[in-house]
Structure 1
Amino acid sequence: MKSNKILYTLISLALVGSSCKKALDLKQQGVYSSSNYFRNEVDAVNAITGIYSILPEEDYIGHAESTFDTPSDDYWRSGDHGEDEGIENLTYDASNAAIRYPWKWRYEEINRATNCIINIPKITAISAAVKNRSMGEAYFLRAFGYWRLMIIHGDVPIITEADYTSLNFNVPKSPIEEVRKQIESDLKQAVNLLPESYGPTDRGRVSKGTALGLLTKLYMYWEKFPEAIATGQQVVSNSHYALAANYQDNFTRANENSTELLFSIQAVQNVVQNDFTVYYIPRPWGGYGFSQPLQGLADEFEAGDPRKQATLLSVGDKVDLGDGKGLTTFTADLSATGYAFKKYAVFNTEADGGGVDHSFAVPLMRSADVYLLVAEALIRTKGAGAGDALINQIRHRASASLKPVTNAGMKELIHERRVELAGEDQRHQDLMRWDKAKIVDIAAIYNLPVSKAPLDKSKTVTFIRPKNYYFPLPQVEIDKSKGVLKQNPNF
């Protein structure tokens, strides 16, 4: 694994001195490192903002991380990335480019966060509120980097503050239990330091609810159900993290102010492009047309559930592309499956110039996810019916006409997570953790041929236990470590 300690600020040279001086004699100005950058409150805030700036990277959250959900029965990968086909069909090996791409960005996020955790406490010209908030953000964002590493690869290297200070980045893998403990420790720190909410000038920063939400997810993957219930209830019971009034409100430009968005990628038109949305939009409409929904996902929605229309574009649906041509029809030639994800097809108005809306805040974690995780934990500890109240809150928010669940068990919970969170990169990981608990048979689900009408192709995925529970470490990182990093079993 390769990293560096150079601070992520622009380096400039001030060309000073007399004309008779040689260029090599000139003294550099404005060159920063970790040792001289952190001077005041502005520096701290800018350093934290620099961690967030990683999220929209195309080879990180911008696209690469969503690739790991394509084996699921919700998607056909589509697109022209050959490496994605290997991920979808679980035929990848450790040299697959899709496995390599996000690795460095996860560790870059961890390294930038660790840099802040080490240096922000040394700043004296900073208010207590901003210092606490900044430290909380750093702890959360470091935890998030390790979270993505853990659920994708399992055992991974932990870079401690001591390693960082000594520039020792070539360290062996830690067992997954230790990685979970690292994430838990960072998230607990974040919960204690972060504010409950922010004003409009700090929109998009992670809050106490964000940290509680990810901690709930960690406990569910860890199968620590009492802890998941206790932690998740702090989100569910807090009005700062209330569900949006309408399901579709989470997928509009106005969602950047939504209380339901615990964590999101914020972007600004013509400044920070959000590739995430582009990948889901059909090519003729300015996107890349990746990750197309399968018929099985469309069939999962109950009759009268408005989440289907809010989630999927079907043949015949009308969309305003903001191009001055009025409503455009979604036609069969725009997708190999007959569907696209409407929740990410957000466009500027004609007055704004039309085209793909890059100001749309892409949800990475919503309160609804936490509601359903708590409901699941209640069902798995107290039995069928224990999660009814929470499941029904989600269903009633979708539509008052949806029949409330009664004595719901895991079958009902699994259905609700699938339709509520469709296209939000939860399905594959959900199925794997349920398979480990012997609640579902993921191999049977994936090994069935799935039709990709209208082109009459099929998708079959052979899931091999335990090999496919985790992806391999990138082979290039194994090679660079000179024997320090060991590959995951079965690869």
Structure 2
Amino acid sequence: MQSMRNILFIGMTASLALGACKSVLDVNPQGNYSTGNYWRNQSDAVDGVTGIYNVLLEEDYTGFNEFVFDNCSDDQVRGGDHDYDAAIEDFSYDPSTYSVRVGWRWKYETINRANNVLIYVPKITNIDAAIKNRCLGEAHFFRAFSYWRLLLIYGEAPIITEDDVLKANYNKPKVTADELRAQIESDLNAAADLLPESYGDADKGRVSKGTAYGLLCKLYMEWNKLDQAIVAGNKVITNSNYALATNYGDNFKVATGNNSEMLLAVQTVDGAGYSDFITYHAPRNWNGWSFFYPTKGLVDEFEAGDPRKDICIMKPGDKVNIGTGIATYEASASWSGYHYAKFCSWKPSGGLDYSLKTPLMRSADIYLLVAEAKIRLHGAGAGDAEINAVRSRASKALKPVVNGTMANLMHERRVELCGENERHQDLIRWDKAGLINIADIYAKPKLAYDGTEISRGGKGRKFSKPKNYYFPIPQQEIDRSKGTLKQNPNF
């Protein structure tokens, strides 16, 4: 069986040719394959599915741009030289803002590739039954994942399925958020039925039943279906195949990134098939581009003695192994005086190590969502077991939570998942549930390490409800649809 590492190279050269759409979903084909001559055997099926994974490497998708949306939060401030990222941070974006529009294409390209798998793989006879099921499960999952990201960012979007592809029916109106949720739910249930629970070393990094159930838990939390979130989440946190890594830091190391806890990560390979995620996070003077800076509010959230602070955050005076030696981090490296250490790794020979995986979903996230659902349904203390599982993994010295409240849960999610593109969506979910007032939080300035307002992106912002729960549909997609797509309210 081909390893994930090997088939990444195949996918880079062949997978872009698998689409057949004549619509706003198009990507210019490359290579010599088409849907008419490609789907012949098991190797084609496996490589075709790998083409779906490869979309995650795109800079305008999970390689960078999806993480720009968490600049809205109070945890980080934008860096770099993209003026249009400022519009995301201060809620002044419009339907033409670059960061709003570029990811749309890659979400639908993923959907396109997944639809092709779902259409053509069932027709292949020269294939092992287990591999066929796995390929179909992977396609269902990634179609769901793409619609999930569309849901979180835009609220409403068109649904394109196999039937639409066969009928060349691509110019469709958007559906409601609930219709989008129902499609995601359906795909995730199909994925969970088809995918294996775990993989051997050669296939580490592929999505599993636990990945599908984890995203289903996240969907139900966003949908406010708390009972169902607990059911889906328990299928992850009670299964040893998805156990928390022994050490928190194992999730952010090249050698141990694909551990049992990592439900979904971008499978980067140094030298080929890599993402610039790490480049965007590392300091400029150490080979990076410095686009994401943690705030003092996030850093101060860590309790004394919590080892996650040093794993996650570079602070003034820290000694950092940059491969060729030990360097001292200085506050001048960042507008806030901090960087995310958890997303940085250097090779002994020098330069960034692009084999560091980009975490997109971990079991710890699901533990804490189950805890949240239990607290919201049954009151203080109901989520203690799940919160303490995450805390004790971080350090046995951390005091266990007793009769934990939503405040305890919010704290734990903030420090455990910092920088992993969860904070803004957490705050939106809690605001919609009446647990916080997100407008009050965002009205406060973002502070640098010394307590001063960060010079760029630090001013308090006005969050307008319900307008800023979602972003506008990209104007270029509305134009291409000749009016079939309608703009979101308030834009």
TM range, normalised to the smaller chain? over 0.9
Q: Give the structure 2 partner of residue 468 of structure 1.
A: 468
Give how far 1:166 is off: 1.8
Cα separation, 1, equivalents of 2:38 and 2:27: 12
Give how far 1:195 is off: 0.4
The aligned amino acid for 2:402 is: T
TM-score, length-scaled by structure 1: 0.93
- 1:291-317 CA-to-partner distances (Å, cap 9, x unmatched) read 100000011011111111111000011
Q: Give the structure 2 partner of residue 333 of structure 1.
A: 332
Equivalent residues in 2 for 1:138-153, closer than 5 Å? 138-153=139-154
Cα separation, 1, equivalents of 2:344 and 2:124: 43
Q: Give the structure 2 partner of residue 16 of structure 1.
A: none
Give how far 1:3 is off: 2.0
Q: Give the structure 2 partner of residue 191 of structure 1.
A: 192
Cα separation, 2, equivalents of 1:389 and 1:9: 51
Q: Is 2:302 aligned against 1:298?
A: no
1:380 to 376, 381, 390: 376
TM-score, length-scaled by structure 2: 0.93
SS at match of 2:78: strand
Q: Is 2:256 aligned against 1:255?
A: yes
Q: Give the structure 2 partner of residue 490 of structure 1.
A: 490
Preserved CA contact (<8 Å) 1:5 1:167 = no
SS at match of 1:386: coil
Cα separation, 2, equivalents of 1:293 and 1:208: 33
- 1:216-257 CA-to-partner distances (Å, cap 9, x unmatched) read 000000011111101100100111100011111111112233
SS at match of 1:256: coil
Q: Give the structure 2 partner of residue 285 of structure 1.
A: 286
Cα separation, 2, equivalents of 1:150 and 1:84: 20
Preserved CA contact (<8 Å) 1:391 1:413 = yes
Distance 1:69 1:131, change over 3 A: same
- 1:410-440 CA-to-partner distances (Å, cap 9, x unmatched) read 1110010000000000000000010011101
Q: Give the structure 1 partner of residue 24 of structure 2.
A: 2
- 1:107-127 CA-to-partner distances (Å, cap 9, x unmatched) read 000000001001100000001
SS at match of 2:477: helix
Cα separation, 1, equivalents of 2:276 and 2:95: 25
Cα separation, 1, equivalents of 2:466 and 2:428: 10
Equivalent residues in 2 for 1:119-158, closer than 5 Å? 119-158=120-159
The aligned amino acid for 1:246 is: N
Give how far 1:35 is off: 2.6
Q: Is 2:156 aligned against 1:160?
A: no
Give how far 1:452 is off: 2.8
Cα separation, 2, equivalents of 1:9 and 1:321: 38
Preserved CA contact (<8 Å) 2:295 2:448 = yes
1:406 to 402, 409, 425: 402
Cα separation, 1, equivalents of 2:397 and 2:369: 23
Gaps of 5+ in 2: 1-22
Cα separation, 1, equivalents of 2:123 and 2:37: 11
Cα separation, 2, equivalents of 1:4 and 1:131: 26
Cα separation, 1, equivalents of 2:436 and 2:473: 27
Preserved CA contact (<8 Å) 1:255 1:361 = no
Cα separation, 2, equivalents of 1:38 and 1:438: 50
Q: Give the structure 1 partner of residue 481 of structure 2.
A: 481
Cα separation, 1, equivalents of 2:278 and 2:27: 32
Give how far 1:451 is off: 2.1
Give how far 1:50 is off: 0.4
- 1:23-51 CA-to-partner distances (Å, cap 9, x unmatched) read xxxxxxxxx32132111000000100001
The aligned amino acid for 1:65 is: E
The aligned amino acid for 2:93 is: Y
The aligned amino acid for 1:2 is: V
Preserved CA contact (<8 Å) 2:338 2:449 = no
Q: Give the structure 1 partner of residue 392 of structure 2.
A: 396
SS at match of 2:447: strand
- 1:433-478 CA-to-partner distances (Å, cap 9, x unmatched) read 1001110100000001222355753331210000000000101111
Q: Give the structure 1 partner of residue 431 of structure 2.
A: 435
Cα separation, 1, equivalents of 2:313 and 2:100: 28
Preserved CA contact (<8 Å) 2:90 2:462 = yes
RMSD: 1.2
Q: Is 2:341 aligned against 1:342?
A: yes
Preserved CA contact (<8 Å) 1:147 1:183 = yes
Cα separation, 2, equivalents of 1:405 and 1:54: 40
Deviates further, 437-446 or 457-466 = 457-466
Deviates further, 161-170 or 188-197 = 161-170
SS at match of 1:173: coil
The aligned amino acid for 1:434 is: W
Cα separation, 2, equivalents of 1:475 and 1:433: 26
Percent of counterpart pairs with the same letter? Answer: 55
SS at match of 1:449: coil
Q: Give the structure 1 partner of residue 109 of structure 2.
A: 108
- 1:390-424 CA-to-partner distances (Å, cap 9, x unmatched) read 10010000111111111111111001000000000
Which runs of structure 1 show a deviation greater than 3 angstroms over 4 or more consecutive aligned residues?
Answer: 453-456
The aligned length equals 465
Gaps of 5+ in 1: 12-31
Give how far 1:79 is off: 1.0
Q: Give the structure 2 partner of residue 416 of structure 1.
A: 412
Select the structure of larger CA radius of gyration. Answer: 1
Q: Give the structure 2 partner of residue 236 of structure 1.
A: 237
The aligned amino acid for 2:24 is: K
Preserved CA contact (<8 Å) 2:59 2:65 = yes
Preserved CA contact (<8 Å) 2:77 2:293 = yes
- 1:110-155 CA-to-partner distances (Å, cap 9, x unmatched) read 0000010011000000010100000000000110010000010001
The aligned amino acid for 2:483 is: G
